[in-house]
């Protein structure tokens, strides 16, 4: 029986993009369902009753939740093509550490450049740049965080790149000026079809960020 794969998603979500990229890397066909996060579908509430968040991958009727867990699941289930996690247990633990760092540090720092003003925004930009520099050190001279090939950390981090225009527009700064190596890595990833086809247009993200700022009460 062929696999039935459904993705409950929201196009500007960096977490959803991770799953889209992982599935594209594996060459998987799936049904994409765009959610309205302000009016969630009964299917989303049924498939993720705890967090009520996207993304959710529904594989043969069974839900898998949390983007980093979904990407690892996709890698384990469709293991014959484009391995994303390293085969060595220590290397795998390291990759998981960096994805955890992205979720705990990088994500919040990026969001803070959008959700703050004045002094707090200056602080947020400084922290964001410091975190990117830490990631640049981790990348070293390798083309990808995964080494010679695009891997789990790359899949988890690249979706944030399409948010940079929004961070930079509202934060009034340039990541490229301070972290050119990071931007070179991002452009390298964008050359991959699995990435470029899975990411929304930056302008769309800027529009969504403007809406979020209104909701944060900034504008
Ligand atoms: C985060 C998902 C998430 O924040 C993951 O999958 O990695 N740790 C989770 N999803 C958001 C959209 S992206 O900002 C979401 O579904 N929000 C709806 C809500 O909070 O009601």
Q: How do residues 15-66 score in pLDDT, each as one tens digit?
A: 999 999 999 999 999 999 999 999 999 999 999 999 999 999 999 999 999 9
The answer on pLDDT for 1 being more than 70 is no
| List of domains in the chain | 5-77 (3.40.30.10), 89-215 (1.20.1050.10)
Strands 31-34 and 5-9: parallel
Q: From the CB of 53, is ligand 1 less than 6 Å away?
A: yes
CB 155 within 8 A of CB 21: yes
b/e code 109-126 from CB counts within 10 Å (16+ = b): bbbbbbbbeeeebeebbe
Q: From the CB of 115, is ligand 1 less than 6 Å away?
A: no
Q: Is the pTM of this model over 0.85?
A: yes
> How far is 54 from 117, CA to CA, in rounded Å?
28
Q: Can you say how many angstroms the Cα of residue 163 is from the centroid of all Cα atoms in its chain?
A: 10
């Amino acid at each position: 029986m062929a696999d039935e794969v459904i993705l409950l998603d929201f196009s500007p979500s960096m977490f959803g993009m991770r799953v889209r990229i992982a599935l594209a890397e594996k060459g998987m066909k799936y049904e994409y369902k765009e959610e309205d996060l302000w009016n969630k579908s009964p299917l989303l509430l049924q498939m993720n009753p705890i967090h009520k968040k996207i993304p959710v991958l529904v594989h043969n009727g069974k839900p898998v939740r949390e983007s980093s867990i979904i990407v690892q699941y996709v890698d384990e289930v469709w293991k014959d093509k484009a391995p994303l996690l390293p085969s060595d247990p220590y290397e795998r633990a390291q990759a998981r550490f960096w994805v955890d760092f992205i979720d705990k540090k990088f994500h919040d720092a990026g969001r803070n450049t959008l959700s703050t003003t004045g002094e707090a925004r200056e602080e947020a930009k400084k922290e964001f740049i410091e975190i990117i520099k830490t990631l640049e050190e981790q990348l070293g001279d390798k083309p990808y965080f995964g080494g010679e090939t695009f891997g789990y950390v790359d899949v988890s981090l690249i979706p944030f790149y399409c948010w940079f225009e929004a961070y930079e527009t509202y934060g009034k700064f340039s990541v490229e000026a301070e972290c050119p190596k990071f931007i070179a890595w991002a452009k390298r990833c964008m050359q991959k079809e699995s990435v470029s086809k899975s990411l929304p247009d930056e302008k769309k993200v800027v529009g969504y960020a403007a809406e979020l700022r209104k909701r944060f009460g900034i504008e």
